[in-house]
Structure 1
Amino acid sequence: MKKFTASAITLLATLTLAGCSSSSEDVATIGDNGSVSKEEFYEAMKSSVGENTLQRLILTEVLENEVGKNDYKSQAEAEVLATMESVGGQETFLGLIQQMGFATQEEYTSQIHLNLLMDDALRDRTSFTDEEVQAYYDTYEPNITASHILVEDEDLAKDLIKQINEGADFAELAAENSTDGTAQNGGSLGSFGKGQMVAEFEEAAFALEEGEMSQTPVKTEHGYHIILVTEKPEKGTFEEEEENVKELMINEKLSDSAYLDEVMTTIMKDADINIKDADLKNAMDAFLGETEEVEESTEEDAATEESATEESATEESAETESAETESAE
């Protein structure tokens, strides 16, 4: 069975099936003799995009009820407009979202709306014990801010380190030599925490003090790095860091697809979904199918066990009868 993940929801329909019930009314007429009825339209839409559309509608309805009063639809619309402006207008925006698999602006907005609802619902159902939070805090290190220069040649990296130690400007050398996209920002990587960089880079960066630069090139799968740590905050007390630690823990949970599957399945099962249209009965299998499979498996196991028991009883009866016959002889 195909399982659900947060990134796997597809919004392939631009028209909603809701409200398109069987009726003699026409949605279109062609001349004096031709027409397309609501029933014909419904059946055609159902066969092409019915399950995906129904899944989206059910997910949205269930999560709206789960979350309660909210303003996520307006937030989604505002986010889409802001994105559109940032990329240079509607035409460019539509081109970008079509590359992502969305046919219209409305589809993309619906996806953002659904993501906001999902995030809220999942957060509300995610909690940690005091012991779990304390254990996470014990190993937690605050984010650091760093820059780097990435080159392909180790000798070049060593030469750049020498130049910087002799007074050359790190940002200028990064702009001139770095082979990745950070070159245009003087090598700035911004703020990052544990688990966000490749292991070799992370180990070297977190070992440096604030204002310190690596004195030997750090080799990773991407090449040779020269790392400069510009900010390295001190770890606060548990009370000072508790909320930040909890947020990090939740974000880690929400990046775990298996956990998302588990919680979303629970939410959908709790909603008691009953799909009336037999042709669309599989629309929510990504959430509800597992139960059916487990039940079917349980029934099969029970039947197998019952059959084995009956066979065993028959064999025992036959053996007893044979023994009695031999005894009588």
Structure 2
Amino acid sequence: MKKKLMPVVIGLGLLGLAGCGNGEDGSSDSENGSGETEFGEVLATSDAGDVTVDDVLNNIGTTQVANQTFQLTLDQVLQDKYSDEVDPAEIEEEVDAEIEQYGGEEQFEMMMSQQQPGMTADRYKQQRIASTYHNLFFTEQFDITDEEAMEGSAEGAHILIAVDEESEDGLSEDEALEKAEGLIADIEDGADFAEVAEEESDDGSASNGGSLGLVTEGQMVEEFENALFDLEQGEMTSEPVETEFGYHIIQRGDEEDIDEELEEVKSQLVNQKVQENPDQVLTFYQDLMDEYSVSFENEEIESYIQETFLTSEEAASEGEESGEGEESGEGEESSDAENTEEADTEEPAADDESAEDEEAESEE
């Protein structure tokens, strides 16, 4: 059985929260005051007949309707479960700040539409809010602690002195190494690492004092990563670290006040664990549906959701094996019955032969 789980989990709320996806901006001209559109059962009438909501849903197809039904139900339940832990207004403010960094809403939406056609700023905000609820749920279910998230992470900063022997103003390898060694000496003599990074680093992180935030294992090239993770908190490399990009002066942060970045690392761990443990995710979903007494009223939708999102591969395999066993058993019973019938039909023939023998003997 092919699972449809991954698109739902990877999207983590792509459809937005229940009640927020009525239009591109989550609003409609015919709202009932609660932000939800009142469609009614009949959408159009004509001399040829009516067009109903059922007509539209049947045209969309059971599979898609069931997928969206499950997604919206899941979003709604998680929103209720973690309502005290999430501030949607705060998330919207964070997105607004991101939009400004990209040069405004128009520029932001152009960039987003290249990755996800049709994506708007408002829909992106709803996606981020929904993702926050989902991440909280899976972080709790997988019991991902701060300690676990930090095991393969380190707060890093660096100053890059690039090697560029082709351009007129570029540095040769020897010149870049010499410059990096000189900057290390300056910092060890008291110069501020962040200020040196802003003035001298050839990396985009220079504007942020060389800060890279939390670096997770596998994120950087091997030479850089090994050097960073070998450092103690607050320590800086005593020698430049050479990579394909040039020479780096690497500093490990004290890893304090990183709550926001820690949540990003937890989110990465969530996605990893979801991909690695799909059957466990299905169990989490089933428990959540039971906790909230969720009932899918349409039998076809209920059957599809149960099979696709709430039944593990192992359980499905056991069910299939059980079904095959039952069919096999029925076949055996049928064979036994046929054998019995054959035996019954053969017995009278044997009696006839016995009677003929008796007659022959009496004639003799």
**Is the structural similarity TM-score above 0.5?**
yes
Gaps of 5+ in 1: 237-242, 315-329
Picking from 216, 225, 242, the partner of 1:218 is 242
Amino acid across the alignment from 2:78: L
Q: Aligned partners of 1:172, 1:79: CA distance in 2, in Å?
A: 25
Larger radius of gyration between Structure 1 and Structure 2 = 2
1:267 matches 2:290: no
Alignment of 1:169-318 (within 5 A): 171=197, 178=202, 181-182=204-205, 185=207, 188-193=210-215, 195=217, 196-207=219-230, 210-215=235-240, 218-219=242-243, 223-231=244-252, 233=254, 250=266, 253-256=269-272, 257-258=274-275, 261-262=278-279, 264-270=281-287, 271-272=289-290, 273-278=294-299, 280-281=301-302, 282=304, 286-290=308-312, 293-300=316-323, 302-303=325-326, 306=329
Q: Aligned partners of 1:137, 1:70: CA distance in 2, in Å?
A: 20
CA contact (8 A) 1:97 1:103 kept: yes
Q: Aligned partners of 1:118, 1:20: CA distance in 2, in Å?
A: 29
Picking from 113, 116, 120, the partner of 2:136 is 120
1:91 matches 2:116: no
Q: Deviations over 1:209-236 (max 9, x none)?
A: 7344534x523xxx14312134554x99
Q: 1:198 to 1:37 in 2, by over 3 A?
A: same
Q: Aligned partners of 1:35, 1:95: CA distance in 2, in Å?
A: 40
Amino acid across the alignment from 2:131: N
Q: Alpha-carbon deviation of 1:111? A: 1.8
RMSD between superposed Cα atoms in Å:
5.0
CA contact (8 A) 1:150 1:224 kept: yes
CA contact (8 A) 1:269 1:288 kept: yes
Q: Aligned partners of 1:137, 1:64: CA distance in 2, in Å?
A: 24
Q: Aligned partners of 2:9, 2:150: CA distance in 1, in Å?
A: 30
Q: 1:248 to 1:202 in 2, by over 3 A?
A: same
CA contact (8 A) 1:147 1:188 kept: yes
CA contact (8 A) 1:122 1:263 kept: no
TM-score normalised according to structure 1 size: 0.63
Structure 2 SS opposite 1:143? strand
Which deviates more from structure 2 when the two are superposed, residues 33-42 or residues 1-10?
Answer: 33-42
Q: 1:122 to 1:140 in 2, by over 3 A?
A: closer
Q: Aligned partners of 2:306, 2:200: CA distance in 1, in Å?
A: 51
TM-score normalised according to structure 2 size: 0.58
CA contact (8 A) 2:113 2:119 kept: yes
For these two proteins, the number of residue pairs brought into alignment is 290
Q: Alpha-carbon deviation of 1:57? A: 1.0
Q: Aligned partners of 2:21, 2:275: CA distance in 1, in Å?
A: 30
Q: Aligned partners of 1:115, 1:103: CA distance in 2, in Å?
A: 15
Q: Deviations over 1:175-210 (max 9, x none)?
A: 5xx4x644x649824344451422222113444673
Q: Aligned partners of 1:283, 1:98: CA distance in 2, in Å?
A: 30
Gaps of 5+ in 2: 24-35, 166-170, 187-195, 338-364
The higher relative CO (CA closer than 8 Å, separation ≥ 6) is in 1
1:57 matches 2:81: no
CA contact (8 A) 1:144 1:192 kept: yes
1:146 matches 2:158: yes
CA contact (8 A) 2:228 2:252 kept: no
Amino acid across the alignment from 1:228: I
CA contact (8 A) 1:11 1:52 kept: no
CA contact (8 A) 1:20 1:39 kept: no
**Sequence identity of aligned pairs in percent?**
18
Q: Aligned partners of 1:11, 1:137: CA distance in 2, in Å?
A: 28
Q: Alpha-carbon deviation of 1:120? A: 1.7
Q: Aligned partners of 1:43, 1:70: CA distance in 2, in Å?
A: 38
Q: Alpha-carbon deviation of 1:160? A: 1.0
